[in-house]
Amino acid sequence: MSPLDQRARDFEAACNGVDVVIVGGGITGAGAARDAVMRGLKVAIVEQGDWASGTSSKSSKLVHGGLRYLENMQFGLVMEGTRERYRQSKLNPHLVTPLPFLMPVYKDGRHSLFKINLGLWLYDLLSLFRTPRMHRRLNANKTRTQVPELRDTRLSGSVLYYDCATDDARLVLANVLDARRHGAFAFARAAYRGPTTAPRDGHERVTGARVFDHLTQREVVIPCRHIVHATGPWTDQTGAMLGEAARLRPTKGVHIVVARERLPIDVAVAMSSIDDGRVVFAIPFGNTAYIGTTDTDYDGEPDAAMATAEDVRYLLATANHFFPQQALVPDDVTSTWAGLRPLIRTDAATAYKTSREHEVYRDPRGLTTIAGGKLTTYRAMAEELVDDVLADLKAEAKRLGQPAPKLARCTTHKVPVDPGAVDVPQHITGAGDQRDRLLWRTHGGAADLVRKRLRSHPAEDAPIVPDLPYVVAQAAVATLHEDTWGLEDLLVRRLQVFYRSADAGLSAAPAMAKLMAGLLGYDDAWIAAEVDHYRAYVAAHLAGAQSFKTAPGVTRSMAAPSPAHAAG
Ligand code: FAD
C-alpha cells in the first residue's frame, strides 16, 4: 500500500474515535504518544509540520546530565538527566552514543582546575557512576596533545568528561514509529485547530479534536476523551484556543556549522563565551563541526527564528578566542539552525538562568498542557504526563459511574524505542563495516529495508551528494517507510544532508524531489514547488552569515579574537 493510501486509511480509522489526541510531534508529544499507547490507550498524535520540525531538531543534539546545573545547585536535575542518559544509551545505542568533552582551564579563568575537577567528581557521583566513562584531569601538555589547535597561552590543563550525542530528529521519529507499531495513529502535516466540547452530566468535557490535513486540505474531527497540548514554543498559541494566558518565556538558541578541516576537533570542547561567560560548545559532527549555542529572549513567530548576523558574530568570536589559529570567518559557515527553548516564565533575571524544568497544567474539561523540559528527560516527562491523563480519565469514568479503564504500567524505562536496532552484530556497532554502521545509526532496525532496497535497486547505490556517504536507497526507504512528505523533511531531518554537505544539499535537491515524487505519486509541479521551497529554506538559514558579511559597519574582523583576548 502506498504511504498516501495508508494515511487515508489511518485517518478514516482515527475518526472512529480514540482515547487521547496528542498535539505536537516534537520529542515531548512523540514520547507521550508512545508511552500512552504502550499502556493500552487508543492514541492519535498530530503534528502540523514534519516530525521534530520544531525545537526538537534544533537542539545541541546532546543527551546530557547538564553539567552547568551544578553551578545553580540543581542536583535533582543532574540526577534525572544522568539517569535518563544511562537508560537511553543502553536502550537506544544507535541513537544515543558517548561523546567525550574537553573543558580547558586557564590561569586567568573563573574557576581553578582543582575546583572544576571537583565539580566533575560530583557530576560522576550524581550519575551514580553510570557514565560512559569516568572523567579525567589532564595537565597542559596532555591537553595540547588532545586538542592541538586549542589556545595555549596561560593554559592550566583541562578535564575530559563524558556525555552523549544524539540525532535529535531521529530520536523523535523513532518514538513516533514505535507508537505507530503499538497501534497509535500518527499524522504529520496535520494541524490541530482546537477542541470540540460538550456538556456531560453537568460538566463541559472534550469530545474531539479538530484537525486539518494539509495533504488533502480537509478538516476532520477525531473524537476523543482527552487532548494533550505538547506544542513547545507554540504552547501559547494552542493555549489561546482555550482562552488561556501566555505561559512561556521563549529563548532562541543558534548553532553554526563549519567544515571539520576548519575546526579540527575529535572531542567536543566546552568554551566559555568571551562576551558573557556562557558555556558554548564546539562539537565534532562527521565531516563538520558545530558551534553553539546562544541564549537570547525571543518574541517573534516560532517558525521565523533564524541565526542573525549578531548570533554568528557571537559564536565565531568565542570559537576564534579558543582556536585563534583557525581564524574562522562568516564564509566558513556552511549551515545554521535556530531553536526556541519553550521555557516557563519565571522572574529569573536573564534568559540563561530561566528554569529548564517542565510544567504540566490540567484543564478540568479533559485537556493537559505540558511545556518546558529537555530532550534528555523526555521519557520521564512522558511518564508523568500519561499518569496525569490516566488519573483524569479514571476520575471522569468514576464521575459518570462507568468502570475505570484497566491499563498497564509505564514500561518505557525498559523497552527500546526500536526493537530491531538492539542486539545487532558486533561488526555493525563496532568500528567494522562503515556502510552497515551508517545504516544502523541512521535507520535503526529499518537498515534491513535499505539493504533489501539496494539488492532490488542496485542503481540506487549511488551517493546523494559527493561529500557524504548517504546513498539514494536511503532516500527511497525514508520516503516509503519513514513518514517523509517533503524534500526538506528528507534532506534536513531524515538524512543530515543540509547540515553536513558543503552545499547544504542544494545540488541534490532536484533529483531527490524527483525520486520522492515517483514514490509518492506526485507530479512535476510538486517537484518544482519542493525544490523552490528547499532553496528558500537554505537561503533563510544562511542569511545571518551572509548579512554579517555585507551589513554596514560589521566586518570580518569582528569575529576574530581581539588582541586582548588572544593574549589570554
Ligand atoms: P517542539 O520540538 O517544538 O515540538 C512542538 C511541536 O508542536 C512542533 O513540532 C510544532 O510544529 C507542533 N505544533 C505546534 N502547534 C501545533 C498545532 N496547532 N497542531 C499540530 N502541531 C502543532 N535538550 C537536551 O536535552 N539536550 C540538548 O542538547 C538540548 N539543546 C538545546 C538547544 C537549543 C538551542 C534549544 C532551543 C533547546 C535545547 N534542548 C536540549 C531542549 C530541547 O530541545 C527541548 O526542550 C525539546 O526539544 C522541546 O520539545 P517539544 O516537543 O516540547 O517542542
DSSP one-letter string for 252-289: EEEEEEEEGGGS--SSEEEEE-TTT--EEEEEEETTEE
pLDDT at position 201: 81
**Which residue carries 546545573 as its cell?**
69
User: What phi-psi label fits residue 402: left (phi over 0), alpha (psi between -120 and 50 degrees) or beta?
Assistant: beta
Contact 500, 285 (CB under 8 A): yes
Atom 26 (ligand 1) nearest CA: 62
Establish whether residue 302 lines the binding site of ligand 1, counting it when its CB lies within 6 angstroms of any ligand atom.
no
How many A from CA of 234 to the centre of ligand 1?
A: 9
Dihedral sign of CA atoms 356, 85, 55, 390 in order:
negative
Distance 342 CA to ligand 1 centre (A): 7
Question: Residue 120 is inside which H or E element, if any?
Answer: helix 113-126
Q: What is the DSSP letter of 455?
A: H
Give me the residues paired with residue 289 across strands. Answer: 258, 284
Ligand 1 atom having least distance to the Cα of 241: 18
Whose CA is closest to atom 33 on ligand 1?
Answer: 59
The DSSP element (H or E) to which 295 belongs, if any, is: none
Alpha helices, DSSP H, located in 167-227: 168-181
> What is the per-residue pLDDT for 431?
61
Q: Indicate which residue's Cα is closest to atom 34 of ligand 1.
A: 253
293 in Cβ contact with 60 (< 8 Å): yes
Q: Which amino acid appears at position 466 of this protein?
A: P
Q: Is the CB of 501 under 6 A from ligand 1?
A: no
Q: What does the angle CA 551 – CA 556 – CA 558 come to, to the nearest 5 degrees?
A: 95
Report whether residue 31 contacts ligand 1, using a CB cutoff of 6 Å: no
Distance of alpha carbon 58 from alpha carbon 341, whole angstroms: 10
Would you state the pLDDT for residue 20?
98
- The Cα–Cα gap between 255 and 281 comes to 9
312: nearest Cα among 255, 394, 245: 255
Q: In this structure, what C-alpha cell is assigned to residue 15? A: 475518526
First and final C-alpha spacing in the chain: 63
Q: Which of 23, 46, 48, 55 to mutate to test the pocket of ligand 1 (most atoms within 8 A of CB)?
A: 55
Neighbours of 410 (CB within 10 A): 20
Q: Is the pTM higher than 0.75? A: yes
Is 322 near ligand 1, meaning CB less than 6 Å away? Answer: no
Q: Which three cell numbers stand for residue 5?
A: 493510501
Q: What cell numbers appear for 143 in the block?
A: 591537553
Q: What span, in angstroms and rounded, lies between the C-alpha atoms of 398 and 333?
A: 59
Ligand 1 pocket check for 483: Cβ under 6 Å: no
Cell of 174: 523513532
Give me the pLDDT at residue 546, please.
77
Which atom number of ligand 1 is nearest to the Cα of residue 29? Answer: 51
CA distances from 334 to 423, 428, 498 (A): 37, 30, 9
Test site for ligand 1: of 375, 377, 378, 488, most ligand atoms within 8 A of the Cβ: 375
Classify 462 as helix, strand or coil: coil
85 C-alpha to ligand 1 centroid (Å): 18
Q: Please tell me the predicted confidence (pLDDT) of residue 432.
A: 61
Say yes or no: CB of residue 45 within 6 Å of ligand 1.
Answer: no
The rounded distance, in Å, linking the Cα atoms of 328 and 316 is 7
What's the rounded Cα separation, in Å, for the pair 290 and 338?
12
The cell for 364 is 478540568
81 lines ligand 1 (CB under 6 A): no
Q: Where are the beta strands (DSSP E) in 7-86?
A: 20-23, 43-46, 62-63
Q: Is 29 in the pocket of ligand 1 (CB under 6 A)?
A: yes
- Write out the E strands in 397-444: none
- Give the number of the atom of ligand 1 that is nearest the alpha carbon of residue 376: 25
27 lines ligand 1 (CB under 6 A): yes
Mutate to test the pocket of ligand 1, among 231, 248, 311, 343 (most ligand atoms within 8 A of CB): 231
Is the beta carbon of 373 within 6 A of some atom in ligand 1?
A: yes
User: Which amino acid would we find at residue 368?
Assistant: T
C-alpha cell at 510: 532536484
Whether residue 291 contacts residue 281, with contact meaning beta carbons closer than 8 Å, is answered with yes
Neighbour count for residue 352 (Cβ, 10 Å) = 15
d(CA 312, CA 330): 7
Which atom of ligand 1 sits closest to the CA of residue 337? 34
Strand partners, 213: 190, 218
Ligand 1 atom at minimum distance from 255 CA:
34
How many alpha carbons fall within 13 Å on the CB side of residue 225? 17
H-helix or E-strand spanning residue 158 = strand 155-166
pLDDT of residue 446: 95
57 lines ligand 1 (CB under 6 A): no
pLDDT in tens, the chain (568 residues): 899 999 999 999 999 999 999 999 999 999 999 999 999 999 999 999 999 999 999 999 999 998 888 888 889 999 999 999 999 999 999 999 999 999 999 998 888 999 999 999 999 999 998 998 999 999 999 999 999 999 999 999 999 999 999 999 999 999 999 999 999 999 999 999 999 999 988 889 999 999 999 999 999 999 999 999 999 999 999 999 988 888 888 999 999 999 999 999 999 999 998 888 899 999 999 999 999 999 999 999 999 999 999 999 999 999 999 999 999 999 999 999 999 988 877 655 444 444 457 888 899 999 999 988 899 999 999 999 999 999 999 999 998 888 888 888 999 999 999 999 987 766 666 666 788 899 999 999 999 999 999 999 999 999 999 999 999 999 999 999 999 999 999 999 999 999 999 999 999 999 999 999 999 999 999 999 999 999 999 999 988 777 765 544 444 344 443 333 332 2
354 lines ligand 1 (CB under 6 A): no
Residues 6+ apart with CB under 8 A from 554: 309, 313, 547, 548
Contact assessment for residue 288 and residue 259, using Cβ atoms and an 8 Å cutoff: yes
- Whether residue 350 is preceded by a cis peptide bond, meaning omega within 30 degrees of 0, is no
- Whether ligand 1 lies within 6 angstroms of the CB of 340 is answered as yes
Angle subtended at Cα 231 by Cα 227 and Cα 237, rounded to the nearest 5 degrees: 95
Ligand 1 centroid from CA 422, angstroms = 26
Q: What angle do CA 550, 556, 557 make, to 5 degrees?
A: 145
Whether ligand 1 lies within 6 angstroms of the CB of 376 is answered as yes
Question: Cβ atoms within 10 A of the Cβ of 114, count?
Answer: 11
